[in-house]
Chain A
Amino acid sequence: DIQMTQSPSSLSASVGDRVTITCRASQGIANFLAWFQQKPGKAPKLLVYAASSFQRGVPSRFRGSGSGTNFTLTITSLQPEDFAIYYCQQYNSLPPTFGRGTKVEIK
């Protein structure tokens, strides 16, 4: 199975900050990488797929990049509604696997 390593596991940031979350795959996955946002008690929400393609309706402050084994999700200007847990997921090969998540908290 492909292991997905996210970092950091948590971070504190202020509204307006630029935030970067990284995800590393244990082997190359081309651009078969998605990012999700999950708020307490809610289902995950797809933000980015194919490493850098926006899901419809997602604000443009969420930017995905990378290919191969190294990927990043950047929130260019953190908003109050962005405090949540973020997960990456690879779908290059079965089984699809998720990172352990990055919790973005209010500073």
Chain B
Amino acid sequence: EVQLLESGGGLVQPGGSLRLSCAASGFTFSSYAMSWVRQAPGKGLEWVSTIIGSGANTYSADSVKGRFTISRDNSKDTLYLQITSLRAEDTAVYYCAKLVTRDALNDAFDVWGRGTMVTVSS
């Protein structure tokens, strides 16, 4: 069974940092680009970042560029999101998601984790 499991969320003060993790199983992790998508409380879905299978290229939303860094460890089948300089507006559930098509850079997301909540508050 294909599964994604996020961890690492929590309550953090403005300006603080966190590292989110997403453990993957049930598919050839290194063959698929992976993304982070977030959802603020009561709001819609917002794409955050994508990293290709090899990890050589990454893409991020303008709203998080310079503050968030996506990475992956294919030897551990794990995706990461390092988030720094956190702001109140970064409060959201952060989902990791797998792209549908092998080797695709931009695609629909066919597998989602349960999400991890990040709350930015003093």
**A: which residues have CB within 8 A of B?**
32, 34, 36, 42-46, 49-50, 55, 87, 89, 91-101
Contact = CB atoms under 8 A, between A and B. Distances in A.
Interface stretch (B10-18, B68-76, B82-90, B108-116): B108-116
Interface residues of B, number: 20
B114 A43 contact: yes
Contacts, number: 56
Contact of B106 (A91, A99, A100): A91
B27 interface: no
Nearest to B105: A94
B95 interface: yes
A46 B101 CA distance: 13
Contacts of B114: 42-43
Contacts of B110: 46, 49, 55
Contacts of B115: 43
A45 B114 CA distance: 11
B100 A44 contact: no
B106 A49 contact: no
Contact of A98 (B46, B100, B112): B46
